[in-house]
């Protein structure tokens, strides 16, 4: 096992106070995350916000010292909260996203940045979330449903060969695979895994992925290149190599990275005797001791806007609202206007999908999934999914039941709980949308005589083994 301290020792000369850097690296990382701006809390009586401190630079971001409480669990399970390391949240904040834009996330899994992109676009636009690993894409699909992201489509290409579409993207995120040194506060063993051959392989991939990203972005659009490592070989040196070998007639600028409220250091202009382009100081490094975070690197490469046309004029006017006759069950509970932002598509034979109106991937892409899980079409009556219930359940005008906040942990733990009020389910089904204090929690089946509700919450949701988490909460 390598001496981990000696691996980061080589960065001591790059920071103004090496001891503070080394000390920060040996402290555990605070728990941080952000609140989904697309799923505001209507009202609610969960204990929650008191334990959360706002971030200085990110209005949706929070830090907490007690991640295991009922309020945070409620927000997590209803898709209102995402846990994400603070420095990793910055890449997406560098994009000045406008409604209707099309974004490519080339190395997207497990999907926290995809989720940021999607929610910052609101219900508009489209995010293509690509990752070479289908297993890791599976985690991303869980996040899509938990957060209710209807404007994301996923693909599984090797980013180095991602098919360049005719209509290029407004932004491309290249959050590349790297040696992850900056995550050592969270994953202490990560430093000892690094070796020279692995680094060479990573660097070759990083250069190829960044080059591909530049070919996929429209003139005037930007590529964000980010890593969670300190290694200059994977950061400034990669950006420098790519700028050196741009194809003829292709130019781009490195834009200054500024994040008001967050302390950053400029990118290096030399390393190991090699001098880089002076514009490399426009990149940003986030060191752990500066803001009590992990380590991160950011570069923004803007493709020269010579042939730029307003993105909005290129947007297809594709809008096919869902009609109540198409989606028979339970729509009695909704009004047509509730469903206007989406289209539906039958992507697999079990569930249909709810898809953002502007989420129209290029026909040349082999899409793995599009939008979020909608209705289960396999049962006798097409059934709601938990994803759909947590997204639009608060709008239902019938077929709902309200439970008390003290019953929520039992509900999530798949127990039968009492309900306090309900509005009749439709047709002959007993299935209802389960609500508590303005939040829509999922689905259940009611027995009106006993005034009880059988939970139909999934055993695993958003990657969390629910029973385990509830057990932890109850024993603290």
Ligand X SMILES: C[S@@+](CC[C@H](N)C(=O)[O-])C[C@H]1O[C@@H](n2cnc3c(N)ncnc32)[C@H](O)[C@@H]1O
Indicate which residues carry an active-site annotation: 228
Residue 136 vs 414, nearer CB to ligand X? 136
Q: Tell me the C-alpha to C-alpha distance, in Å, between residue 1 and each of 24, 125, 188, 199, 465.
A: 22, 47, 12, 17, 33
Least distance between ligand X and beta carbon 177 (Å): 4
Which of positions 18-57 make contact with ligand X (CB under 6 A)? none
SS3 218: strand
Out of 107, 203, 396, 464, the only residue in the binding site for ligand X (CB under 6 A) is: 107
User: Rounded distance, CA 53 to CA 272, Å?
Assistant: 41
Strand segments, DSSP code E, in 9-70 are 31-35, 52-54, 61-64
Residues ≥6 apart with Cβ < 8 Å to 376? 350, 351, 382, 383, 384, 385
Which residues lie across from 355 on neighbouring strands? Answer: 343
Stretch that binds ligand X, among 129-137, 281-289, 346-354, 433-441 (CB under 6 A): 129-137
Report DSSP state, residue 245: T
Residue 131 found at the interface with ligand X (CB under 6 A): yes
Using CB under 6 A as the binding rule, whether residue 138 contacts ligand X is answered as: no
Name the residue nearer to ligand X (CB basis): 74 or 92.
92
Residue 196, both tokens = 């020279």
Residue 33 CA, distance from chain mean position: 11
Structural tokens at position 9: 């020792």
- Is there a contact between 110 and 140 (Cβ–Cβ < 8 Å)? yes
Only segment of 25-33, 132-140, 288-296, 297-305 that touches ligand X (CB under 6 A): 132-140
Calpha distance 375→64 (Å, rounded): 36
Query: How far is residue 226's CA from residue 300's CA, in Å, rounded to a whole number?
Result: 9
Complete DSSP assignment for 379-434:
SSS-EE-HHHHHHHGGG-SSSEEE--GGGHHHHHTT-EEE-SEEE--STT--EEEE
Residue number with CB closer to ligand X (130 or 291): 130
Closest approach, Cβ 147 to ligand X, in A, equals 13
> Helical H runs in 51-133?
70-77, 90-93, 112-120
Q: What span, in angstroms and rounded, lies between the C-alpha atoms of 471 and 476?
A: 9
The nearer residue to ligand X, 155 or 291, going by C-beta atoms, is: 155
Q: Tell me: does residue 111 bind ligand X (CB under 6 A).
A: yes
Per-residue binding string, ligand X, 382-411, x by CB under 6 A, is: ------------------------------
Q: How many residues bind ligand X (CB under 6 A)?
A: 17
Name which of 130 and 373 has its Cβ closer to ligand X.
130
| Of the residues 32, 64, 112, 154, which one makes contact with ligand X according to CB under 6 A | 112
Element (H, E) at 314: helix 311-314
Stretch that binds ligand X, among 52-60, 128-136, 271-279, 352-360 (CB under 6 A): 128-136
Which residues from 192-231 bind ligand X, rule CB under 6 A?
A: 205
For the bound state, the minimum distance from the C-beta of residue 47 to ligand X, rounded and expressed in Å, comes to: 29
Closer residue to ligand X (CB): 70 or 233: 233
Between strands 81-83 and 61-64, the pairing is unpaired
| Choices 29-37, 94-102, 126-134, 394-402; region in contact with ligand X by CB under 6 A | 126-134
Distance CA 370, CA 144 (A): 10
CB of 112 to ligand X, least distance (A): 4
- Minimum CB separation of residue 113 from ligand X in Å reads 4
CB 88 within 8 A of CB 112: yes
Smallest separation (angstroms) from ligand X to the CB of 44? 28
Using the minimum distance from each CB to ligand X, give the nearer residue, 109 or 254.
109
Tell me which residue of 78, 35, 154 sits closest to 388, measured CA to CA: 78
Decide if residue 85 touches ligand X (CB under 6 A).
no
Strands 400-402 and 421-423: antiparallel
What is the smallest separation between the CB atom of 116 and ligand X, expressed in angstroms? 8
Length of the chain: 476
117 near ligand X, judged by CB under 6 A = no
Q: Does 110 bind ligand X (CB under 6 A)?
A: yes
SS3 345: strand
The answer to the question of residue 454 lying near ligand X (CB under 6 A) is: no
From 125-133, 243-251, 288-296, 444-452, give the range in contact with ligand X by CB under 6 A: 125-133
d(CA 204, CA 215) in angstroms, rounded, equals 17
Binding residues among 140-199 for ligand X as defined by CB under 6 A? 158-160, 175, 177
Out of 124, 133, 405, 415, the only residue in the binding site for ligand X (CB under 6 A) is: 133
CB of 287 to ligand X, least distance (A): 19
- Residue 5 CB, shortest distance to ligand X, in Å, is 24
Given the rule CB under 6 A, which of 75-83, 101-109, 234-242, 360-368 is the region that contacts ligand X?
A: 101-109
Stretch that binds ligand X, among 29-37, 46-54, 127-135, 458-466 (CB under 6 A): 127-135
- The residues of the shown chain that bind ligand X, judged by CB under 6 A, are 107-113, 131-133, 136, 158-160, 175, 177, 205
């Amino acid at each position: 096992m390598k001496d981990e301290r000696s691996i980061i020792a080589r960065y001591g000369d790059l920071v103004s106070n090496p001891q503070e850097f080394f000390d920060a690296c040996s402290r555990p990382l605070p728990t941080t995350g952000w609140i989904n701006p697309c799923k505001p809390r209507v009202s609610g009586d969960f204990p929650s916000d008191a334990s959360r401190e706002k971030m200085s630079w990110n209005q949706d971001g929070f830090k907490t010292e007690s991640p295991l409480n009922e309020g945070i669990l409620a927000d997590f399970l209803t898709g209102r909260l995402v846990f994400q390391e603070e420095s990793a949240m910055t890449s997406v904040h560098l994009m000045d996203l406008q409604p209707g834009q099309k974004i490519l996330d080339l190395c997207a899994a497990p999907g926290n940045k995809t989720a940021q992109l999607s929610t910052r676009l609101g219900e508009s636009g489209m995010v293509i979330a690509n990752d070479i690993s289908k297993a890791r894409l599976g985690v991303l699909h869980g996040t899509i449903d938990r957060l209710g992201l209807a404007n994301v489509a996923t693909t599984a290409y090797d980013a180095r060969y991602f098919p360049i579409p005719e209509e290029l993207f407004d932004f491309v995120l290249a959050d590349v695979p790297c040696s992850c040194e900056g995550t050592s506060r969270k994953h202490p063993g990560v430093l000892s895994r690094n070796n020279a051959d692995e680094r060479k392989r990573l660097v070759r991939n990083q250069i190829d992925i960044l080059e591909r990203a530049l070919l996929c972005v429209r003139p005037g659009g930007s590529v964000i290149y980010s890593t969670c490592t300190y290694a200059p070989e994977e950061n400034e040196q990669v950006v420098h190599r790519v700028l050196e070998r741009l194809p003829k007639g292709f130019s781009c600028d490195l834009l200054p990275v500024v994040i008001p409220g967050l302390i950053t250091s400029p990118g290096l202009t030399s390393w190991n005797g090699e001098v880089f382009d002076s514009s490399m100081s426009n990149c940003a490094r986030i060191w752990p001791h500066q803001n009590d975070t992990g380590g991160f690197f950011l570069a923004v490469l803007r493709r020269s806007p010579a042939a730029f046309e307003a993105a909005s004029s290129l947007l297809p006017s594709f809008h096919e609202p869902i009609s109540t006759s198409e989606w028979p069950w339970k729509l009695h509970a909704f009004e047509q206007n509730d469903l206007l932002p989406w289209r539906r598509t039958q992507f697999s034979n079990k569930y249909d999908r709810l898809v953002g109106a502007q989420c129209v991937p290029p026909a040349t892409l082999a899409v793995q999934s599009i939008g979020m899980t909608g209705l289960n079409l396999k049962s006798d009556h097409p059934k709601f999914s938990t994803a759909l219930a947590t997204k639009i359940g608060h709008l239902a005008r019938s077929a709902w039941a309200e439970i008390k906040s003290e019953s929520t942990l039992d509900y999530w733990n798949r127990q039968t709980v009492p309900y306090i009020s309900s509005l009749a389910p439709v047709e002959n089904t007993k299935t209802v949308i389960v609500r508590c204090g303005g939040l829509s929690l999922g689905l259940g089946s009611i027995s009106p005589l006993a005034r009880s509700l059988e939970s139909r919450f999934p055993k695993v949701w958003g990657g969390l083994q629910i029973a385990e988490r509830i057990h932890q909460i109850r024993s603290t």
